[in-house]
Amino acid sequence: MLKDNTGYDLKQLFVGSEGTLGVITKVVLKLFPEPRTTNTALCALKDYDGVLKLLGHVRRNLGANLSAFEMMWPDFYERMTSGLAHLTTPLPHGHGAYVLIESQGTSPDTDKDHFERVLGAALEEGVVDDVVVAQSETDALRFWAVRDSSGEFRAVFWPHVGFDVSIPTGEIGRFVESLKETLKAKWSGTQTVFFGHAGDSNVHIGVKVTEGEQPEEEIEQVVYKAVSEWRGSVSAEHGIGTLKRAFLHYSRTPAEIATMRLLKSALDPKGILNPGKVL
């Protein structure tokens, strides 16, 4: 049932628990019809303030049809399109930010025109500096290939230390600049890449401070401490597991962690469910 307020919502308790509280034995799926249209564009902007304006603009004008809002900082966009021969460069280098936008709808006769009008208005109003709209599925795949090239870091940005964090959407731009300064103050030769799902506050970070072996623990302390100072989360998507247990306190208070331990003890008194993870 979509609405069921009969006490505690126990299923929500299991989200993020990584198997430490129970075993899933049944899943109920809600299905939706496949979208009839998909429209994709890549935008270039001056800075992160422009990204926030664009996010507001497309949310107001595309509504529920907005299905992707993927941001790439220039350090990511330029490194990947320059370093991987199979990638195209849909928009030129030199801009302050790049955003991949996708809209899915149900009206083949009007969705594409509406999508282009929305982005055209953003261009006319100076919200974006440049925009290219995919005219075919091949174009769309070329745009997505740039964003998805993070899986090929080993070819152009290796070794490095990677992070999956959340920062309040309105603060992401200032957080990124602050973190860059902090890292460079400690390691002058720091190289970084930033990209992520800005619409839901998620930022992926790659940090490389030297050639060869990275001082991973030191880098983690610097980054996660900064995340805490900006009221963020040390794990947006990938979970805590064992690798992030030492940093959980940067996102959770002692009272919250104590409550988590109580729940773990109540639901798994023998400690047999995914032992050693999270807590």
Residue 239 burial (CB count, 10 A) = 15
Nearest to 74 by CA among 42, 98, 48: 98
pLDDT digits (tens, 9 = 90+) for 166-205: 999 999 999 999 999 999 999 999 999 999 998 999 999 9
Q: Are 167 and 178 in contact (CB under 8 A)?
A: no
The residues near 39 (Cβ < 8 Å, ≥ 6 apart) are 102, 103, 104, 105, 111, 112, 115, 116, 133, 134
Axis crossing angle, helix 172-186 with helix 48-62, rounded to the nearest 10: 150
Rounded to whole angstroms, how far apart are CA atoms 223 and 240? 16
In three-state form (DSSP H/G/I as H, E/B as E, the rest C), the secondary structure along 152-188 is: HHHHHCCCCEEEEEECCHHHHHHHHHHHHHHHHHHCC
Domains of the chain plus CATH, in order, are 37-151 (3.30.70.2190), 159-238 (3.30.70.2740)
Integer Cα distance of 6 and 150 in angstroms: 43
**In sequence order, which residues have a C-beta less than 8 Å from that of residue 232 and are 6 or more positions away?**
165, 166, 167, 168, 175, 201, 251
Rounded Cα distance between 203 and 18, Å, is 21
- Over the stretch 196-233, which tens digit does the pLDDT of each residue have? 998 999 999 999 998 889 999 999 999 999 999 999 99
Residue 35: predicted pLDDT: 96
Task: Please state, in angstroms and as integers, the Cα–Cα distance from residue 92 to each residue in 20, 126, 127, following that order.
Answer: 47, 18, 17
| Per-residue pLDDT tens listing for the chain (279 residues) | 778 899 988 888 998 999 999 998 998 899 989 999 999 999 999 999 999 999 999 999 999 999 999 999 999 999 999 999 999 999 999 999 999 999 999 999 999 999 999 999 999 999 999 999 999 999 999 999 999 999 999 999 999 999 999 999 999 999 999 999 999 999 999 999 999 998 999 999 999 998 889 999 999 999 999 999 999 999 999 999 999 999 999 999 999 999 999 999 999 999 999 999 999
pLDDT at 38: 98
